Amino acid sequence: GTTEEHLAKIAVKAHANSVHNPYARFRKPFSFEQVIESPMVCFPLRLYEICPVSDGAAAAVICSAKFAKKKTTKPVWVASSTVATARFDDGITRHLAAASPNGATLHSEAKLAVETAFERSGLGPRDMSLVELQDNTVYYELAFPEEWGFCAPGEAERLVEKGETVPTGKLPINPSGGFQSFGEATTAMGVFQVAELTWQLRGDAGGRQVPGAKAGLAQTIGLGGNATAVVLKK
């Protein structure tokens, strides 16, 4: 299929996941035809492939291992948590002049945050059971897995085509439904990603459960070239 078709399939997948998430703002499935026929906003992205702005709230309890073991039989451990800022040569215009290396563009802040999170956790892409990434647009589900080493350059589209990014696939991405199904509630969504990983690692995610989830990555990007990443594990 074409890139446009793959983008539409990502949106369909996101909303199919949201049907099983009681906290999602949009719990309605979309057909491929509905997505591909929605108005073009900025080629190749269509209206149903871009998240709206939303309000939201989320919370997480962080405590010592000793206290956690008193309160739950299913603790989830923080393997790493990182913050990073962008390089000026990554090709993304940020209100300042930017030099693009060999024409390449990427969100260097996200890549640096994720790479540092893997380094500090002692885990890597192959150890992740799932990924919750910031999908302001469905494009990020094609770009980020390649930039972070989850798959080879050009392979992300094949993963979408083969259905490997659904909760039961080889690389589950945004089983929560992602920003496509919640909207962008800015900083609240970063904490929500932590909550989603926790539910997944505890086996409490219902119809969107990733089978046997043992570790997961969550990632956000913010205005001004900043990003976060967190790795949680059982």
The per-residue pLDDT for range 193-203, each reduced to its tens digit, is 999 999 999 99
Q: What pLDDT is recorded for position 209?
A: 98
Structure confidence by residue, pLDDT tens digits, 164-176: 999 999 999 999 9
Asked whether 84 and 116 are in contact (CB, 8 A), the reply is: yes
- Which residues lie below 8 Å from residue 188, measured CB to CB, with a gap of 6+? 55, 56, 57, 58
pLDDT of res. 103: 53
pLDDT along the chain (234 residues), means of 10: 93 97 94 96 94 93 93 94 86 55 73 97 98 95 95 94 96 97 90 97 97 98 90 97
Strands of the chain (E only): list them: 40-42, 45-46, 77-85, 130-132, 215-222, 226-233
Record the pTM: 0.92
Residue 95 in tokens = 């209100």
**With contact defined as beta carbons under 8 Å apart, do 219 and 181 qualify?**
no
pLDDT of residue 93: 60
* No. of helices (H) and no. of strands (E), the chain: 8, 6
